[in-house]
Structure formats: C-alpha cells, structure tokens
Amino acid sequence: MNVNKYAIDWKEILNFKNIALNIIGVAFITLALKGFMLPNKFLDGGVIGISMLLHEILHLPFGALVLVLNIPFLFIGKKILGNTFAVQSLITFILIALSINFVHIDAVTSDKLLIALFGGCLIGIGMGFCIRSGSTADGIEILALLTTRKIGLNVSEVIFGINSLLFLAAAWYFGISTALYSIVTYFSAVKSLDYISQGIEQYISLHIISAKSNEIKDLIVIKFRKGITIIKGERGYLPDSFDEKWDCDIIVTIVTRLELLRIKEEISQLDPHAFMYIQYIKDASGGILRLKAKH
C-alpha cells in the first residue's frame, strides 16, 4: 500500500501555480456556463450537464446542484487517486458553485452554432486548466475511471455512454435541435480539454523505415537535436516477391506536434520512398525530449 496516497499534501494544494491554474479554469467554466450555455439551455456532458438538466426541470439552484452531485464522486476519487486529489477537486467544485451563484455575466450571443462551438471550447479549456492544477471539474471522469476497472471499457467509452443517456433526456425535454447542438458543445469541450490538459506540444512517436537510415539518423540527431532508438527489423515480404527479405533499421523518435511536419518534410527530401507512421502517446519523460534554448 502506498501510504503517501492517503496523506494530504498541503504543499501541492497551496502551490501558487496550482491555485492560479485552478482559478483560471473556474473562470473559463463560469464564462462558458453563464455567458453561453445556461441562458440558452445548452447542455454539456457529465455532472455539469446533469446539473443543468435538473436545474431546468426542478428549478433548483444550479451552483448547489454542481456541488452536491459531485460530492459522492470525491469518495471514489479519494480511494483511487488519494486525499490530495480529493481536497483539490472539492476546492474546484466549491469555486464553481460560488462563481455560478455570485458572478453575473450577460449572455454573449443567442446564435446556436456560436454557443455550441465557443461555449464548448471555453468549458473544455477551463476543465483542462483544472486538470493541470491537479483536480477535476467534473466527477463523472472519476466514475468512468472506476467503471473501467470493473467492466474493462476505457474511460472515453464509459463517459460517452453516460453522456448519450444525458443527451437523450435533453432531446426529450428541450427538443432534438437543442440536444444535437449540445452534442456539438460536448465534442468542442472534449477537443479543447485535450489540448489544454495534454498541452499543444503533445508527444508523438515517429517511426521511420528507409534505405537511407544512416542519413536520417544524422538528420534527426544532429539537425533537430532529438534522441532516437533503433529497432532491428526485416523488410520485404511483398506480394510479388514474398521470399525476398533484408535487414533494416527502424528509427523511432519522440517529437511534438509542432516539430512533426518539419521533420517529415526533411525526411521526405532525403528519401521520397521512406515509410513513416506515427503513434500518439499520452506522456513521455526522460531522454532528450525538449532542449532548452541557449540565450
């Protein structure tokens, strides 16, 4: 058992960077909800979407619903991710509830497409900042994490299933048009959340197989200052010449989204027939990932 998991790390909770990220995240979420989504009855997914639906049906205070409905998920998060995460998330839920109740923002627009796109992007950005601060702004992600361990589905599949039921309820209560726009809002939020939580410089694994592997190794290491790993493989096994094969080097390097295009273009200039494929990875550490600029 990891004892530290159950100890509250107040140094992390009170870290200025984490506090700032959390406040910025809550500010974006508040702007999205009060400036775009709530005045026009547009739903997001998760607990916030359920709170919006109940607010419209039962006329209960929206901020209180967000806080109360998220509380049960904190106990799940406490067991899975530890007490520090639970405390940070509780602070986030309280801030969202207070900002919804006490911050006044006029509706920015009534255009449905703009609401779906900008409302979704803003709430996704806000949730991404909250995740980077070490908390979550919606307890449904904690539930999805627990469910994946029980039934074997991944987090995205669980969240999509739960939100599908929510959007069906929205279609029944608000009409099919609003429900469809709410789905656009949700997907806008998901993409924005990915960019913020993972960073615009998401790491990508680039694999290259080429007859000019030595030149490509020099290009990647010397010019782009990237680390490489060489996997020994075999080429050949073509339909018309299945028995022909020869040894080759499979070059693997980790790059960012911003570096990928430049590296691929230069490799193509060296060898127009080079075979390349990429894999998106969630995280990477160690080795030569990003060299600091020299001033």
CATH number of the domain residue 268 falls in: 3.30.70.120
In this structure, the answer to whether residues 8 and 127 fall within a common structural domain is yes
In this structure, the answer to whether residues 104 and 128 fall within a common structural domain is yes
**Domain end point (choices 198, 222, 242):** 198
CA distances from 239 to 243, 245, 276 (A): 9, 12, 20
Instruction: Pull the structure tokens for residue 288.
Output: 């030569």
In this structure, the answer to whether residues 189 and 234 fall within a common structural domain is no
Tokens 């806080």, residue located: 67
Domain of 210 in residue numbering reads as 203-280
Span 20-67, pLDDT tens digits: 999 999 999 999 999 998 888 887 778 888 898 888 888 899 999 999
Helix (H, G, I), strand (E, B) or coil at 36: helix
- Give the model's pLDDT for residue 19: 94
Span 231-268, pLDDT tens digits: 998 887 778 777 778 888 999 998 877 678 888 988 99
Alpha carbon distance 267, 278 (integer Å): 14
In this structure, the answer to whether residues 139 and 216 fall within a common structural domain is no
- Give the model's pLDDT for residue 295: 36
**Domain end point (choices 172, 198, 224):** 198
User: How many folded domains does the chain comprise?
Assistant: 2
**Domain end point (choices 153, 175, 198):** 198
Q: Select the more confidently predicted residue: 202 or 130.
A: 130
Quickly count helices (H) and strands (E) in the chain. Answer: 12, 4
In a domain, 160, yes or no: yes
In a domain, 227, yes or no: yes
Confidence band of 1 (pLDDT split at 50, 70, 90): very low
278 strand-pairing partners:
206
Amino acid (one-letter) located at 154: N
Helix (H, G, I), strand (E, B) or coil at 146: helix
In this structure, the answer to whether residues 48 and 123 fall within a common structural domain is yes
In this structure, the answer to whether residues 215 and 104 fall within a common structural domain is no
Alpha carbon distance 208, 250 (integer Å): 6
Q: What pTM did the predictor assign?
A: 0.70
In this structure, the answer to whether residues 186 and 237 fall within a common structural domain is no
